Amino acid sequence: MRIPSSANFPTTQAEKLIRQLNLFPKDAEAVDESVVAPKIVEKRFRFPNLADSGVSVEDLGHHAGYYKIEHSHAARMFYFFFESRSNQSDPVVIWLTGGPGCSSELAVFYENGPFTIADNMSLVLNEYGWDKASNLLYVDQPTGTGFSYSSDRRDLRHDELGVSNDLYDFLQAFFSEHPQFATNDFYITGESYAGHYIPAFAARVHRGNKAKEGIHINLKGFAIGNGLTDPAIQYKAYTDYALEMGIIQESDQKRINKILPACELAIKLCGTDGKITCMASYVLCSTIFSSIMGIAGNINHYDIRKKCKGELCYDFSNMEKFLNQRNVRDALGVGNIEFVSCSPTVYQAMLMDWMRNLEVGIPTLLEDGIKLLVYAGEYDLICNWLGNSRWVDAMEWSGHQEYVASPTVPFVVDGAEAGVLKTYGPLSFLKVHDAGHMVPMDQPKAALEMLKRWTGGKLIEDDAETEGRAEVM
């Protein structure tokens, strides 16, 4: 989830929506809808800077492509697909980066992708990449994010209906292109503002399956990392978390909390489909976070142990340099498209969506046996573990009482406690130790282990060490 550096909303001139395009596929200018073009244009590739690259392109199983978004005027969605390093029968896992408007490449190169970027611009295989346990998909979405683009302004998305329909249509085209993966277990994952995308997308897939639309997608679960899902509960938790972590004093909390009743009312009026009321609640409730940051100073709101450096509070400049190399762009087939790591245009387009409650669709999924894992690094302020645990605890579903009464047990990796876990039936919450907003970046080994155990149905291991060691989160 990205807060703009300026208090003012980004202007539409902040970024050229229509970019000078030289594309693969080569249909970026005017789209002649009378010509039937393939929905997906994809190529196998190997990054030219990959160290120890003796593996053939075929054996590597790395793909990059564009999907011609079906219900759009001229939109193309860019994606990566990395086949599992272990077994093609591993689950298919899609990762959605938040923002809104931040590119999936942030995760590919800094979190759970197959590579990390060295300072000399070479790529090193990531020992804890999620492609070690899954067939891994990354998409640049909504339109205008990363390498995804449109030459028609009407293709900007403003809500989860548009976002989830585009993603569902993409999956249909993807599994049509890769039928050998269509029967694999399927999981939706992501972080930050994807706490909005993921529940909406999971509900759309489930609805499509029930209605027998197109290819059946074998949805087994969805995971939200340090997400924004239920704003009313999460915004209320800001001052509690900030006080607990020593960022503010009790007097600060009392003063800032005076905004809460108006914020809660505005969010209630926004509901799940409000418009002007949702914009009003965004403006009003944002003062809670900005007041805390005014006291905190230059801390990194994604990891309160650190100082904020640069617009995104981290130095991701190696990714920009890497993706702007000519040989890299040729390998991916993206021509001269301007790469947008975090798009202010997309961010602004989604402002009315921000305060909507996406928790409301989750109980139906749980009742139908679809698993949810909510996990959060303990040092993130902006989507903190406290707010996330509270909305999970408050969620009404048939297992609600049993979940609340369940013990919190250690999540043990290599004999050490990597987090604390609470689980009942299809619902799990994991607080990850020594991590901020980007758990797979801060705790890569624990994050991969989490994915393996969760998709394998063994989040709680049968370990005598964990018996009787319950604690309160």
Among 102, 323, 334, 76, CA closest to 197 = 102
Q: What is the number of H-type helices and E-type strands within the chain?
A: 16, 15
Residue matched to tokens 């406690």: 417
Q: How many other C-beta atoms are found inside a 10 Å radius of the C-beta of residue 333?
A: 18
Residues 303 and 377: their CA atoms lie apart, in Å, by 9
Place of tokens 């800094």: 110
Q: Is the dihedral of CA 299, 302, 308, 312 positive or negative?
A: negative
Chain centroid to CA 60 = 25
CB contact at 8 A, 385 and 302 = no
- Hey, what amino acid is at 157? R
Say whether 266 sits in a helix, a strand or coil.
Answer: helix
Catalytic residues: 192, 380, 437
Q: Is 207 exposed, middle or buried (0-12, 13-18, 19+ CB in 10 A)?
A: middle
Residue with the two structure tokens 């139906």: 364
Closest among 351, 335, 318 to 19, alpha carbons compared: 335
Residue with tokens 């909406």: 200
Question: How many residues are there in the chain?
Answer: 473
Rounded-to-integer distance, Cα 279 and Cα 423, Å: 35
